[in-house]
Structure 1
Amino acid sequence: MSNKPRTGLVVAGLSLGTALNPLNSSMIAVALVVLRADFGLDVATVTWVITSFYLSSAAGQPLMGKLADRFGPRRMFMLGMGLVAVTCALAPFSPNFALLCVARAVMALGTAAAYPSAVVMVGAIVQQSHTGQRSNIRSSRPLGHIQMANTSAAAVGPVIGGLLVGFVGWEALFLINVPLALAALLIVRQAAPADAARERGSFAALVRDSDIPGILGFVGSLLLVMMALLDAVPGYRWWLLVAGTLIAALFAWRELRFSPPFLDLRLLGRNRPLMLVYVGFAVFNSIYYFAFFGLPQLLQETGGYEPGLVGLLMLPLAATSVLATPWAVRAMGKFGVRRVMIAGVVLLGAVAALMWLLTGSLAIPLVLALTALMGVPFGAVSIASNQGMFVSTRPQERGVAAGIFQTCRYVGAITATVLIGVFAADGVNQESWGLMTITMLILSAVAFGVTLLWRERQD
């Protein structure tokens, strides 16, 4: 087999595997109302099926990136896909909502291995043929394919999820992952080059170097802050908030002193371009997921639309985001990463402003137009931020950097889901949607300011 087709097959397998995380994060959007009815939940409680997935992903991405750098991306990718296949085969038999959330968390940990492993593998493949700045430019093509698959999966998720929930039930949201994960595993196992010689070490050394206290501190602080914002334990909101803040401070103190840290804060401190990419990407995703998780609930609860129809109404987002991604790759080659990011953030703010129209009407043509518009900045900013992360890091840091990059996506998504629970505790209606729109506009201004400050790293 020639190198070019083999490389294409590797990228196809990596794209399929990395797409499982955004696919599963978006398919669940149209199942929230059904899960509330099946398990007798309120809006704040049902969001835990989302936040459990994102908490596990947020903790898992940097860890999996570190393990990919240390033990090899091919090995970690296949391990993750195997975990996804097994978990998703068992998840439909969960007898209660708590175990369902646990299954989502374990599945997320498996999918978390895919993206950082893919970035490390792509970097190695590109470096074999190209060096210097030209390799950074050429890296945008395979990364663009992977990002296109991720963008398409996230955008088409509500469509697939709506059909699966409408015709089969929420159980199908898990079962569909089994053949997809196995296919990705087999493709990468067959076509990907063997991992280069890397550190192996003992299991005890792995546990010691994995910074378990740091992982627990990161997840614990996020968990307590979310519980405080959602008032999960009435009467203890401020105690939870103080405890979460204290644990976050202890987490930062430890990470600055532990080697190797779970979350490399020194990497962020010494690399201002990378820090700005992370902050901008987190804010961008908080805006996007306000619409992504809030709109399906608004259409079902206030508009009275069935899950299958809601999924179809989100379909234009998939189409335009797929079209926007290759355009953004070409535009970055012509105008640069920064200009594409700025253009995407400006358009995102404009679309967020237009979302206010839904406070007066939920007519199908209006919904279709807005979801189509939302797909353009989603595709453009996602791939531009992805490439901004890539060119802002050294090759030996890209596994960890890619993991943290994905963590920023989850932090943004968690922020959006928590605030939806705060604004719409009794259900998403047009009044609460108005509050969400105002919040999206404020966050758009923040994202614009951060993007203006970013410059490509000059070594």
Structure 2
Amino acid sequence: MSNKPRPSLALAGLSLGASLNPLNSSMIAVALVVLRADFGLDVAAVTWVVTSFYLASAAGQPVMGRLADRFGPRRMFMLGMGLVAVTCVLAPLAPNFALLCVARAVMALGTATAYPSAVVMVGAIAQQARVESAKPLGRLQMANTSAAAVGPVVGGLLVGFVGWEALFLINVPLAVAALLMVRQAAPADEVRERGSVASLLRDSDLPGILAFIGALLLVMMAALNVAPGYRWWMLAAGTALAGLFAWRELRFSPPFLDLRLLGRNKPLLLVYLGFAVFSSVYYFVFFGLPQLLQEAGGYAPGVVGLLMLPLATMSVVATPWAVKAIGKFGVRRVLIAGVVLLSAVAGLKWLLTGTLAIPVVVVLAALMGIPYGTVSIASNQGMFVSTRPQERGVAAGIFQTCRYVGAITATVLIGVFAGGGVDQASWARMVLAMLVLCAVTFGVTLLWRQRTD
């Protein structure tokens, strides 16, 4: 017997669950020094606790989205939250660092179910609440942005007063609360897959899923240069595996990822491309500016964290404004306006080549939050309206993977332009790179049109 759906409570539970992935990806940064001391690690080794989460999230989002499409988003969301809770109870007991990294990867897979599942449920929730889908999508976006922003602050408090174990344990009540809220208030899953376990496994395209995950992991590991001696071998193997994945998907029915349909869906492809390039611009600032402030400005890490807060704050403030603007002017106009503003703000970053005074940094950080919130929610809505309801889970998962691709692109380019450290000279080169990427984003955005079928 199902409970009466309550859209507000359901959306609160979905937002809480969706926030766990960005929260855990950001608050672990403050625990790296403590983990090095506890497990006797060097700098290169300890970063695997970050990389394992990153890679599992990027590969897991589309897969979990596909499972939500097939077996029901409510069911998958609750399964993911249960996996997070159990994993985070056991993780502090890990006897060595390798098992801790495995726990982080499993936790990432659990949190990866939340966002795609939430996107699949947004249509039904918006219909029940009698609002445009952009409004609940905006709530999800605000939850993601807020969680990423407060992650380092929360992580610092937990590690300082309790220890690194608290970074796992804090997820237990949060995941359980999200599970219970969605179980109580979210709309029931529609009838989707039926049949024996054997037939479901046979039709799940497991080889295609494994090829997709393998290709993505190999290419991302090559980009991150996690094994310097094997970088080009991993890139070659990942490219070959991607070719095999494409060959498989074009011949298998039903495929994990319908490449023919994706090829015919130009609006969705343009959303993915534009969002990936846009994300690279944003993460240039997100990763590059703190290094500039510490290395060239001499600011302490705690001060730098506070200086970055206006960016996240303005992102949250801009999101509901963008939701209202989408309802009034449409997705495309808001998207174009956001990209134009992004280009202007990226150009203003040039001022930091002359001064790193706190008032200038605060204003420029805050300004970056406005196009981030605007373009993120407009791209999210563009993805939503470019897909059919039965495809939104995997579409949302790939959308999130585009964010990771943009982040990795930014980190690689920062290494190229500032290999010897981020100073004001290398920052000037990075600003020029951001402006080029803004131009590409603008061109892609102009080509995008909302689907009419």
Structure 1 counterpart of 2:275, from 278, 281, 284? 281
Provide the residue aligned with 1:257 in structure 2.
251
Task: Kindly indicate whether the alpha-carbon contact (under 8 Å) linking 1:10 and 1:187 is maintained by their aligned counterparts in 2.
Answer: yes
Is the aligned partner of 1:246 residue 2:232? no
Is the aligned partner of 1:407 residue 2:401? yes
Is the aligned partner of 1:15 residue 2:6? no
Secondary structure of residue in 2 paired with 1:456? coil
Deviation at residue 109 of structure 1 after TM alignment? 0.8
Provide the residue aligned with 2:323 in structure 1.
329
Amino acid at match of 1:375: G
Does 1 or 2 have the higher relative contact order (CA < 8 Å, sep 6+)? 1
Amino acid at match of 2:86: V
Amino acid at match of 1:209: D
Provide the residue aligned with 2:333 in structure 1.
339
Q: 1:131-142 alignment to 2 at 5 Å?
A: 138-142=132-136
Q: Output the TM-score relative to the length of structure 1.
A: 0.87
Provide the residue aligned with 1:452 in structure 2.
446
Change (3 A) 1:87 1:417: farther
Is the aligned partner of 1:294 residue 2:317? no
Provide the residue aligned with 2:125 in structure 1.
125
Secondary structure of residue in 1 paired with 2:451? coil
Change (3 A) 1:198 1:381: same
Deviation at residue 235 of structure 1 after TM alignment? 4.8
Deviation at residue 319 of structure 1 after TM alignment? 1.8
Alpha-carbon distance in 1 for matches of 2:347, 2:37: 32
Deviation at residue 96 of structure 1 after TM alignment? 5.1
User: Across the two proteins, how many residue pairs are aligned to each other?
Assistant: 450
Change (3 A) 1:116 1:332: same
Is the aligned partner of 1:216 residue 2:225? no
Task: Kindly indicate whether the alpha-carbon contact (under 8 Å) linking 2:224 and 2:408 is maintained by their aligned counterparts in 1.
Answer: no
Alpha-carbon distance in 1 for matches of 2:413, 2:35: 19
Task: Kindly indicate whether the alpha-carbon contact (under 8 Å) linking 2:7 and 2:128 is maintained by their aligned counterparts in 1.
Answer: no
Provide the residue aligned with 1:74 in structure 2.
74
Alpha-carbon distance in 2 for matches of 1:298, 1:265: 41
Cα displacement string for residues 13-52 of structure 1 (whole angstroms, at most 9, x for unaligned residues): 111111112222333455567667776544x766544443
Gapped runs of 5+ residues in structure 2? none
Secondary structure of residue in 2 paired with 1:122? helix
Deviation at residue 458 of structure 1 after TM alignment? 0.9
Superposition RMSD in Å: 3.0
Alpha-carbon distance in 1 for matches of 2:234, 2:193: 40
Secondary structure of residue in 1 paired with 2:255? coil
Alpha-carbon distance in 1 for matches of 2:269, 2:283: 21
Cα displacement string for residues 303-322 of structure 1 (whole angstroms, at most 9, x for unaligned residues): 55444433322221222111
Change (3 A) 1:55 1:195: same
Change (3 A) 1:98 1:348: farther
Alpha-carbon distance in 2 for matches of 1:74, 1:269: 29
Alpha-carbon distance in 2 for matches of 1:253, 1:10: 40
Structure 1 counterpart of 2:344, from 350, 371, 378? 350
Provide the residue aligned with 1:161 in structure 2.
155
Deviation at residue 105 of structure 1 after TM alignment? 1.8
Amino acid at match of 2:148: A
Task: Kindly indicate whether the alpha-carbon contact (under 8 Å) linking 1:35 and 1:41 is maintained by their aligned counterparts in 2.
Answer: no
Change (3 A) 1:260 1:330: same
Cα displacement string for residues 114-136 of structure 1 (whole angstroms, at most 9, x for unaligned residues): 11211222212345687xxxxxx
Secondary structure of residue in 1 paired with 2:133? helix
- Quote the sequence identity (%): 80
Q: Output the TM-score relative to the length of structure 2.
A: 0.88
Is the aligned partner of 1:57 residue 2:65? no
Is the aligned partner of 1:320 residue 2:314? yes
Is the aligned partner of 1:393 residue 2:402? no
Alpha-carbon distance in 1 for matches of 2:261, 2:292: 41
Secondary structure of residue in 2 paired with 1:404? helix
Amino acid at match of 1:125: I
